[in-house]
Homo-oligomer: A and B are copies of this chain.
Amino acid sequence: MDFDAVIHNGTLVTVDDRMRIIDNGWIGIHKGVIRTIEATAPDSPPPTAKKTIDAVGGMVMPGLVNTHTHLPMTLFRGLADDLPLIDWLEEHIFPAEARFINPETVRWGTLLACAEMLLSGTTCCCGGYFHEDTVARAVAETGLRAVLAQGVIDFPAPGVPDPARNIAHARDYAQRWKGRSRLITPSIFCHSPYTCSDDTLKAAKAAADDLGLIFQVHVAETRFERNRSIKEKGLSPVAHLDRLGVLDRRTVLAHCVWVDDADITTINRRGCAVSHCPESNMKLASGIAPVTEMQSAGVTVSLGTDGCASNNNLDLFGEMGTAAKLHKVATFDPTALNAASVLKMATIDGARAIGLADNIGSLEVGKQADIIVMDTRAPHLTPMYHPDSHIVYAAGGGDVRHVLVAGRQVVKDRQLLTLNVQEIMDRVNTIAQEIRLKSVLSVK
């Protein structure tokens, strides 16, 4: 077979059903799809191809899938830290969004996020924000794969000054992007059950269903949210969403920190996926999601970084390490969330959560060639007994050397091929300078 590209001389961490690790293997890619995965035989080296990528003994693995983020919020990275969620949101983030979020700033914030994600090995993300048409156009320039949702909230929002138009706006966006791009899938994102009315939630879900799209919602992020829901509606946030009929296998629930056994049963019965964002939940002191309980019940739990204002980076390697360690100490069980299971959360389970498990999330013949090559020639990755342990406990996004999405190489030797990173950083720094000068916030 003729290959467009061959990756060879690496340890293949497939994350397939058998979690196969091939010590010295090669991958043949044709038309953006993985066509061959094999151990390299001494007497039969990999075939030549138009492009040959030498992994020089490093790890070759599926690109990471970040299932919860808000791309343009890179603009607010580190703007307001060490604050309670409600103060952070209502006194800092919402005002900054109202004042500084517009198509121009959204474009540059999104490009910055994509640069950061691709350079740190994330090849697919799922999330939502406002001005999503601008977000989607920017992401399309970068070569990243994404599920991108227009945000829906019952308050005036950037680009949607009249909340009565929020569903129509989201539907228009989703229709415009449905089937338009091979890499970008539209979606609709209701902010939360406490910022969206029952009618809004139902209408948004109906719009997503009409178009066969993923519906996203933040839910049960804080104890405050849960208590208020129980007090005002007599139901937990999850039970409330279930009563509205918006929970099914095309619904992604972000956070699910404050869920009880009944909620977990509901989530599992409806087939919803959960996006677990440990670093954001820790930084905002929201709580620790019962990930092991959800997984034991059968729920697909994936990983998200959340936006840069509450993390403050988009490095999914860091998120893996944090998740693996956090749930061990939270359950007093050092066998909880072992390396292999966390690696799955950041790859195949992420793909499953957003409806793309047939196409991405593992290195398997027939899947899209969303592949990253890790450089392991570094003191902090020496020696290597178990590749999956290194991926979760020792590596970072900075160890990513090459990145392919749908067979297209977008990062080569740690450099982005699709974007002018310096220009993006310059533009974002200019925007940040304006935020710094004009903001009423206590910015140094």
Contacts and interface: CB of A to CB of B under 8 A. Distances in A.
A119 B77 contact: no
Contacts of A183: none
Contacts of A288: 329
A364 to B, nearest CB: 21
A368 B80 CA distance: 33
Q: Is the interface of A mostly helix, strand, loop or mixed?
A: helix
Interface stretch (A46-54, A198-206, A237-245, A378-386): A378-386
- Count the copies: 2
Interface string A393-436: 11011110000000000000000000001001100110110011
Interface stretch (A149-157, A159-167, A277-285): A277-285
Interface stretch (A82-90, A124-132, A185-193): A82-90
B285 A336 contact: yes
B379 A329 contact: no
Interface stretch (A27-35, A268-276, A315-323, A352-360): A315-323
A303 interface: no
B321 A318 contact: yes
Interface of A: 21, 74-75, 77-79, 81-85, 88, 112, 115-116, 119-120, 223, 279, 281-288, 311-315, 318, 321-322, 324-326, 328-329, 331-336, 338-339, 377, 379-380, 382-386, 389-390, 393-394, 396-399, 421, 424-425, 428-429, 431-432, 435-436, 443-444
A329 B380 contact: no
